[in-house]
Amino acid sequence: MFESLVDKFSGIFKKLRSKGKLSPQEVESILKELRMVLLESDVHYKVAKDLINRVKERAVGREVLESVTPGEMVIKILWDEIRKCLGGETQNLNISALPSFLLLVGLQGSGKTTTCAKLALRLKRQGHFPLLVSTDTRRPAAKEQLKTLAQNAQIDFFDEPDATSPLEVVKKARVFARQKSNDVVIVDTAGRLHVEEMLLAELRELVEQESFQETLLVLDATTGQEAVKVAKSFEEWVKPTGIILTKVDTDARGGAVLSIVSQTGWPVKLVGTGEKLEQIETFHPDRMASRILGLGDTLTLIEKIEKAIEKESEEKLVQKLKKEEITLNDFLDEIKRLRSVSSFEEIVGMLPGNLRSNLSMVDGEKNLKKVEAIICSMTPQERQNPSIINASRKKRIARGSGTSIQEVNKLLKQFEEFKKLWKQMHKGKFSPLRKRGIFGWKI
């Protein structure tokens, strides 16, 4: 995610952190680099210009020039301005009525139907009783797709084969939801291949005749500036209350997210981060700004880990960490648990840049098997106390696992990094992050 932006920002930040003081000329030079990075990453030129101007206004003032660590201060200012571009504050779904109706609209291929099912499953796990409804009366396959997804997730699905219009479907679904006590109704609409006036007029009739707590526009993040044009077209007809961004995990350039939010002014409520039904997250502007700048998203990582680890096993691990008794067996167990939540690539991507290289060996299925082979080639005493592993033991372990001594050394080093990471995570939820903001995090 945001691979291009992260790499380019990392290079600029390295220069910034190496300087004890910054002159106005140096700030100007850095801002020019930042502007080029934004433009190359598919950020709209107006958005890039406004963002850099706001950063410049703060960066050439006393706030930076008299700062003890001016490099870190410029990074903080940039993070703060990107966070504002992304909406500033987290916006939750409006689920106030009983039942609450959420209408999802968008172009065909944006992932709208799958997003309906993802959202329903998410709400179900939060204690709601969702109902999925398809108003696509033209394409039977679209309705069948949503019905299948609903069955897989064990979510109620409303089907009205005799309905002739989306408006009629929604009216009947409202009656059905009240009878069955569904508190949230998620309405899928017909996907458009492009912005068609006839179908948009059909949508406008629906939003004018029926009451919806949210009208959410589903946009594909990988379409870049085209997504902004689509958003503007829908604005004239249905006036969305928010956005759901899909395929954010494959948006390597990353600029589209900034452009979409800045130019529409609508809050992003949710983001799709993968193909699985569980892979949808609340959009947090501060966390997304951290990801874009390559500073990690440790809070989301903590949430993912907490979902994966059973309370009992977590408490045992915390006790071990307190006594510094974490072993290589625990290391292997935790890697497997993390991978059960999402891809290791996604998890590593949430870490600050200085940690990613440290955990590179356990990244990917092939490397994970290699790690498992090395650990399984150790004696119980060696797994319990890796400090006893000397040169002759490393040679034996490498031979038994089909690896090299260098790979055994690398694993032992990364095990030490892993222990430090987990100690920080269980010591007040990354207390350095809270005390020092998101910057300067060192393990």
- Spatial separation of the C-alpha atoms in residues 313 and 337, rounded to whole Å: 11
Residues 6+ apart with CB under 8 A from 161: none
The DSSP-derived string for 380-402 is HHHHH-GGG--HHHHHHHHHHHT
Q: Which amino acid is at 289?
A: A
Q: What is the pLDDT of residue 129?
A: 93
Is 213 in contact with 101 (CB distance < 8 Å)?
yes
Q: What is the pLDDT of residue 62?
A: 60
Is 289 in contact with 254 (CB distance < 8 Å)?
no
Distances (CA, A) of 175 to 99, 131, 169, 225: 10, 12, 10, 40
Nearest to 127 by CA among 51, 42, 85, 184: 184
Nearest to 89 by CA among 262, 324, 231, 267: 267
Q: What is the pLDDT of residue 75?
A: 77
Q: Which domains does the chain have, with CATH numbers?
A: 3-85 (1.20.120.140), 100-288 (3.40.50.300), 300-436 (1.10.260.30)
DSSP H or E run through 38: helix 24-40
Which residues are registered as beta bridge partners of 313? none
Degrees to nearest 5, angle at CA 271 with 201 and 233: 25
Structure tokens at 325: 């008794």
Q: What is the pLDDT of residue 123?
A: 93
Residues 6+ apart with CB under 8 A from 43: 51, 255, 258, 259
Q: What is the pLDDT of residue 400?
A: 92
Structure tokens at 159: 């089907």
Q: How many helices and strands (H and E) does the chain possess?
A: 22, 8
Q: For residue 69, how many other CB atoms are within 10 A of its CB?
A: 17
Alpha helices in 41-91 (DSSP H): 45-59, 62-65, 70-85
In the annotated binding site for GTP, the residues are: 106-113, 188-192, 246-249
In the annotated binding site, the residues are: 106-113, 188-192, 246-249
Is 108 in contact with 220 (CB distance < 8 Å)?
no
Q: What is the pLDDT of residue 399?
A: 93
DSSP H or E run through 279: none
Pairing mode, strands 242-246 and 100-105: unpaired
Q: What is the pLDDT of residue 116?
A: 93
**Running DSSP on this structure, what letter comes out for residue 403?**
-
HSE toward the beta carbon, residue 150, CA cutoff 13 A: 23
Nearest to 390 by CA among 374, 375, 370, 405: 405
10-residue mean pLDDT series, the chain (443 residues): 65 71 77 83 82 83 61 78 84 87 87 91 92 83 88 90 82 90 90 67 83 89 77 81 84 68 85 86 83 62 53 57 69 67 55 52 64 89 90 93 91 80 56 35 29
Degrees to nearest 5, angle at CA 139 with 134 and 143: 30
Three-class DSSP category at 41: coil
Edge to edge, what strands does the sheet with 214-220 contain?
156-158, 130-134, 184-188, 100-105, 214-220, 242-246, 268-272, 280-282
Structure tokens at 305: 């880990």
Q: For residue 220, how many other CB atoms are within 10 A of its CB?
A: 23
- Spatial separation of the C-alpha atoms in residues 163 and 232, rounded to whole Å: 30
Nearest to 16 by CA among 65, 71, 68: 71
Is 41 in contact with 8 (CB distance < 8 Å)?
yes
